[in-house]
């Protein structure tokens, strides 16, 4: 019995350590425009994210200012492979999030004019927890492109 307990504990420790290694994306984040690239999209004048991360749930409020005005989008996502559905002006946006080591991969399907947009977004957090990098591969009926947004944690 004692050997069984020792073996089970030994096997469980790496799993617990792996869970502890997952980053917490909580905080207020502001885009660093000079370090970001938007491919075919026009660069926003300003972009901010407020993230509340209590794994496996992430609630995010994204605020963006562009030449066409301001927009705020509130979404709730999961990191455990369970689909999340958030309503938009054009229909339901469906997101599935999964951990890939220390990076979070979010695959989203959203209806747009002419079909669906499918994005695969990867979040990574710097070792000091002050920089959040979001790289997104976007596939739409009008084309395929990539976006990289570098955000810095607000003090």
Class of domain 2-153: mainly beta
Size of the chain, expressed as the number of residues it contains:
155
Tell me what pLDDT residue 126 has. 97
pTM listed for this prediction? 0.84
Q: Which residue has the higher pLDDT, 13 or 36?
A: 36
Give the pLDDT band (50/70/90) at residue 39: confident
Give the pLDDT band (50/70/90) at residue 133: very high
Is the predicted pLDDT of residue 151 greater than 70, yes or no? Answer: yes
Backbone dihedral angles phi then psi of residue 15, each to the nearest 5 degrees: -65, -40
How far apart CA 79 and CA 75 sit, in angstroms, is 13
Question: From the centroid of its chain, how far is CA 7?
Answer: 36
Q: What number is the average pLDDT over the span 118-129? A: 98
pLDDT single digits (tens) 40-67: 889 999 999 999 999 999 999 999 999 9
Tell me what pLDDT residue 3 has. 54
Asked if 62 and 49 touch (Cβ cutoff 8 Å), the reply is yes
How far apart CA 134 and CA 125 sit, in angstroms, is 9
Q: Where are the domains of the chain?
A: 2-153
């Amino acid at each position: 019995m004692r050997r069984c307990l020792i073996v089970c504990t030994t096997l469980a420790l790496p799993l617990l350590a792996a869970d502890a290694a997952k980053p917490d994306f909580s905080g207020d984040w502001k885009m660093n425009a000079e370090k970001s690239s938007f491919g075919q999209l026009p660069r926003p004048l300003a972009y901010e994210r407020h993230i509340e991360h209590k794994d496996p749930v992430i609630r995010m409020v994204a605020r963006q200012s562009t030449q066409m005005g301001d927009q705020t989008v509130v979404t709730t996502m999961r990191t455990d492979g369970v689909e999340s559905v958030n309503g938009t002006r054009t229909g339901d946006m469906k997101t599935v999030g999964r951990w890939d080591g220390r990076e979070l991969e979010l695959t989203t399907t959203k209806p747009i004019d002419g079909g669906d947009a499918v994005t695969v977004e990867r979040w990574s957090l710097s070792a000091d927890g002050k920089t959040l990098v979001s790289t997104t591969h976007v596939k739409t009926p009008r084309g395929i492109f990539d976006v990289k947004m570098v955000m810095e944690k607000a003090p």
